Amino acid sequence: MSSALPIYLTDKMPVNYISEKAVLCFKDEAAYIVLEESESENLRRIQKAGRQLDNQGIKQLAPMGDGWDKERQWALSLGYTSTLSTNKVQWHEGDKAVTEQLQHMSDVYRFARELVNLSAEEIYPLSLAERVANHLTELAPEHVSYEIIKGDELKDAGWMGIYTVGRASQHIPAMLVVDYNPTGDANAPVESALIGKGITYDSGGYSIKPSEGMLSMKCDMGGAATVSGALSLAIRNGLNKRVKLFLCCAENMIDGRAYKLGDVITYKNGTTVEVVNTDAEGRLVLADGLQAAGEAGAKQVIDAATLTGAAQMAVGNEYNALFSIDDQAATKALNCAVQQGEALWRLPLASWHAENCPSAFADTANSRPQKGGGAGGASNAAGFLLRFAPNDGKGWLHFDLAGAYQKSATAMWPVGATAMGVRTIAATITD
């Protein structure tokens, strides 16, 4: 095995033939990252340097010298890890506690990224549920129990959103319910519920996507990967509260049994929903997860989903979007995002957004019959979910994961999953 390349931080370019705008240079069999005055810009420069080092085929890095705090090492790791690489950062030996935290984060992010990056042939509803259940059980076997409700069992249990969206696939739909209870009290209250959109492949259904739009749709279970990773990280960080995880897993496919435009779904709580767009399926499955969280009596409810292109249009791929009608809960999440170094931006949501997808045949439609759901599509999608949020939306947070997946490489990120949001959600349920 080759030795690791030493990498140093400096405030002055150590060679005079490199452009002053360069973030990285090499000298005396070592690499140097040139810093500036702004720490936020420094983290960006370090992550960019990690991408450049990965692209050059360097297999191991060893941060050396002064200045390598936790966030700087993490920025290097984020840029240095790509889809197929087995790259390794040898963490700086300055602080053993920091080294342990970084290794926890690295292990969790590799797990979450792999779930998203693997093909739909490998990650389908049941395999997603089983992988996550096994991962969490191995992590805390004495505190984790789980149930997988699948196929026609979903219909019998009243989880009609997941059942309806997934019934046309050869891979049966499933809901994973994980109970993490470290209290030792079987009657302990559920402090938080995490809900993840687990659409392992999204063809769009009869509202079929164009070919180029389908290429990356193995990533449509990014919400499930994010909340699973968040719970994994929180457990590693000593989470001592009871948390339930609900993954809403299905493939949105087409055959003679597929749900159609004009169909009306009757949910467990009696709400009726007219389908005006089968490609607005994520909110249909999340509605089941939100009702399940309500049944569990969770005080804090967080859902995460690669839900709308409208959120990406609003915040780009550099941020995740946050929706809530609970200002206190939203402020807490935004503060956690700042502390964890993740980009999160709150977009508008008011109670009246729940009325923005009217139907003449049901209580609501699942979208507007317009491309992208029309103006305010991300807020209207969140408004649909608000109908199913427990406690009239108090304590509820909806993450629309615009930054969860990169369709092409950038200076900061490789192609594929980013796992952005894992740290923020983990901190939000731990705090």
Q: Could you report the per-residue pLDDT of 264-304, keeping only the tens digit for each?
A: 999 999 999 999 999 999 999 999 999 999 999 999 999 99
For the chain, what's the residue count? Answer: 431
Nearest partner of 310 among 280, 339, 351, judged by Cα:
280
Other Cβ atoms less than 10 A from the Cβ of 408: the count is 10
DSSP-assigned letter for residue 7: E
As to burial, measured by CB atoms within 10 angstroms (0-12 exposed, 13-18 middle, 19+ buried), residue 118 is: middle
Helix axes 377-386, 282-296, angle to 10 degrees: 30
User: What does the block give as tokens for 45?
Assistant: 């420069």
86 or 122: which leads in pLDDT: 122
Helix axes 222-236, 96-117, angle to 10 degrees: 160
**Banded pLDDT at 2 (limits 50, 70, 90):** low
User: What does the block give as tokens for 159?
Assistant: 């989880």
Nearest partner of 275 among 178, 193, 357, 396, judged by Cα:
357
Q: Which residues contact 127 (CB under 8 A, 6 or more apart)?
A: none
Catalytic choice (45, 283, 387, 423): 283
User: What does the block give as tokens for 161?
Assistant: 């959103």
Q: Which amino acid is at 430?
A: T
Quick check: helix, strand or coil at residue 414? coil
Domains along the chain? 5-94 (no CATH), 120-430 (3.40.630.10)
How far, CA to CA in Å, does 238 sit from each of 139, 325, 327, 338, 403? 12, 29, 27, 21, 27
- For the chain, the average pLDDT equals 95
| pLDDT tens digits for range 347-403 | 999 999 999 999 999 999 999 988 777 899 999 999 999 999 999 999 999 999 999
Q: Is 209 a catalytic residue?
A: yes
pLDDT at 228: 98
User: What does the block give as tokens for 38?
Assistant: 């702004």
**Banded pLDDT at 416 (limits 50, 70, 90):** very high
- The residue written with tokens 């979450």 in the block is 112
pLDDT at 374: 82
Nearest partner of 350 among 320, 311, 305, 393, judged by Cα:
393
Q: Which residues contact 159 (CB under 8 A, 6 or more apart)?
A: 149, 175, 268, 288, 292
C-alpha–C-alpha distance, residues 123 and 143, integer Å: 26
Q: Is 241 a catalytic residue?
A: no
How far, CA to CA in Å, does 299 sit from each of 147, 149, 243, 398, 409? 21, 24, 10, 15, 39
Contact call for residues 199 and 106 (beta carbons, < 8 A): no
pLDDT at 95: 87
Q: Is the pLDDT at 406 greater than 70, yes or no?
A: yes
Backbone angles phi, psi at 89, to 5 degrees: -100, 125
Nearest partner of 230 among 94, 68, 423, 48, judged by Cα:
423
C-alpha–C-alpha distance, residues 163 and 157, integer Å: 10
The model's pTM is: 0.97
| pLDDT tens digits for range 206-250 | 999 999 889 999 999 999 999 999 999 999 999 999 999 999 999
Percent with pLDDT over 70 in the chain: 100
Backbone angles phi, psi at 178, to 5 degrees: -110, 135
Other Cβ atoms less than 10 A from the Cβ of 212: the count is 8
**Banded pLDDT at 94 (limits 50, 70, 90):** confident
C-alpha–C-alpha distance, residues 112 and 248, integer Å: 16
Q: Which residues contact 118 (CB under 8 A, 6 or more apart)?
A: 218
Catalytic choice (44, 110, 209, 299): 209
- Helix H or strand E encompassing 52: helix 39-55
Q: Is the pLDDT at 1 greater than 60, yes or no?
A: no
